[in-house]
Amino acid sequence: MHFKTIIEPFRIKTVEPIRQTTRAEREQLLREAGYNLFLLPAEDVLIDLLTDSGTGAMSSGQWAGMMLGDESYAGAKSFYKFEAAVRRITGFKHIVPTHQGRAAERILFGSLLKPGDIVPNNTHFDTTRANVEYRHAEARDIPVAEARDPARVLPFKGNIDLAALEQTLSDHAGRVPLAMITVTNNSGGGQPVSMANIRAASEVCRRHGVLFFLDACRFAENAWFIKTREEGYADRTPLEIAQEMFSYADGCTMSAKKDGMANIGGFLALNDDALAERCKNMLILTEGFPTYGGLAGYDLEAIAVGLEEVLHEDYLQYRVRSVAYLGDILTANGVPIVQPPGGHAVYIDARTMLPHIPASQYPAWALSLALYLEGGIRSVEIGSVMFGRQPDGSEKPAAMELVRMAFPRRVYTQSHVDYLAEVILYVNSIKDSLRGVRIVSAPEVLRHFSARMAWLGA
């Protein structure tokens, strides 16, 4: 007998209570948080979909591994285990641990970029963009055109625009030290990138003598989409697919808080000896000695085990299916989302859902506040608050106005998702009553994390 229900491929050994609040309490909590969900105490959130980063549940294997953590300053056993786990998947020569992804980005860009340089990417994540701009270089997003159409259902909307990549490299010869592809394309809807696209981008870069790096945060989810959607990969294991993805790159930055299945950690991995040397020197200055890079020995153990578990087929099937499950309910009930659902998150298309709120009144931010107010759900705006401010201080609407609901790994069950769907459908039924928001005060860089906001007309 072949049963069709895809189950959570684990049982639960430890539970963490979550707390209901009343709507009146949430109204007050929002006021106190300056209408910024980043500023809410987490215990006042019922279902927390702010991020899938560092919020996952570790396995018994990972917790057991942590007891083996070797806390030696130099040459710890845990480092070699970590290094072997990363090398098995990526094949890169130099493996540099960092405390999280953005530290790898800062070290790489700090060792490579000069003012006026350009970094092409399918879509930069916010910290990646900020780290490029911090070097007075330009972070240029060149996703395929279909990526900007949320409603279109295509298998690989995360792809980079190869013609635009070619053009950028020929027009600015000498000014592009590296090009990147982010798998999956987080800011572009969690959409996967095909193997063919990675391979072709790598060829373009090689031809121009430009380094090609992967932002590999969600490499395992990307590998699963390649397996299930790209011709010729159905019989390959996720590990083999991941190995092939990395084989086309000169290096990667990685946040182990995503597909490393750990609560903290990351790495930079690369082949170039001289560049690795510069990166390691910078690492010592700000993160730590190259065999721990700002992490405890037990963190390195947790990541080593996590990198193995994340490539299990039953895990990846459950992971991608549980996100698609929410996407299917919303689609069936007319809530506009980025199609098809991504690997780690469902993104509501707030521009389409709330046509009465213009970009200048931040529709996705307004919607994320409504989801918290009505149902205690925390999501995140990926729209004009996050990306609207330009390096010269001007404002430009973001490519899309999205509300991302990111699923922590192995944390919520199907009934949590059913509740979530109920809340979203309710908010959709009262959408005409939602108001836009304005920025009361905000810092110049990465303003979404700490901006104080207000409802319009309040």
Which residues of the chain form contacts with ligand F0G (CB under 6 A)?
51, 53, 100-102, 125, 127-128, 182, 186, 215, 217, 255, 257, 266, 406
Q: In what order do the strands lie in the sheet with 266-270?
A: 94-98, 266-270, 251-255, 211-215, 178-182
- 455 forms beta bridges with 437
48/404 Cα distance (integer angstroms): 11
Residue closer to ligand F0G (CB basis): 182 or 202: 182
450/36 Cα distance (integer angstroms): 7
Residue closer to ligand F0G (CB basis): 65 or 101: 101
Q: Which helix (H) or strand (E) holds 352?
A: helix 350-353
27/17 Cα distance (integer angstroms): 22
- Are 98 and 294 in contact by the 8 Å Cβ rule? The answer is yes
Residue 97, both tokens: 């641990």
Residue closer to ligand F0G (CB basis): 214 or 434: 214
The 10 Å Cβ neighbour count of residue 189 is 28
339/26 Cα distance (integer angstroms): 31
- CA distances for 436 relative to 35, 388, 390, 426, angstroms: 12, 15, 21, 18
Taking CB atoms, the residue at the shortest distance from ligand F0G is: 101
Q: Provide the sign of the torsion angle of the four alpha carbons 259, 106, 302, 63, taken in this order.
A: negative
Least distance to ligand F0G from the beta carbon of 3, Å?
34
Scan for tokens 């999280």, then name that residue. Answer: 100
Residue closer to ligand F0G (CB basis): 101 or 342: 101
Residue 23, both tokens: 């709507």
Least distance to ligand F0G from the beta carbon of 217, Å?
4
Least distance to ligand F0G from the beta carbon of 123, Å?
9
Residue closer to ligand F0G (CB basis): 127 or 317: 127
226/374 Cα distance (integer angstroms): 37
- Are 182 and 123 in contact by the 8 Å Cβ rule? The answer is yes
Residue closer to ligand F0G (CB basis): 101 or 341: 101
Show Cβ contacts of residue 314 under 8 Å, excluding neighbours closer than 6 positions: 9
Residue closer to ligand F0G (CB basis): 337 or 434: 337
- Burial (CB < 10 A; 0-12, 13-18, 19+), residue 156, is buried
Residue closer to ligand F0G (CB basis): 191 or 428: 191
Least distance to ligand F0G from the beta carbon of 65, Å?
20
Query: Whole-angstrom distance between the N-terminal and C-terminal Cα of the chain?
Result: 59
Least distance to ligand F0G from the beta carbon of 173, Å?
27
Residue closer to ligand F0G (CB basis): 62 or 428: 62
207/209 Cα distance (integer angstroms): 6
Least distance to ligand F0G from the beta carbon of 245, Å?
15
34/40 Cα distance (integer angstroms): 9
- Are 193 and 183 in contact by the 8 Å Cβ rule? The answer is yes
Which of 412, 386, 382 lies closest to 10, judged by CA?
412
Least distance to ligand F0G from the beta carbon of 185, Å?
8
Residue closer to ligand F0G (CB basis): 387 or 428: 387
The 10 Å Cβ neighbour count of residue 53 is 20
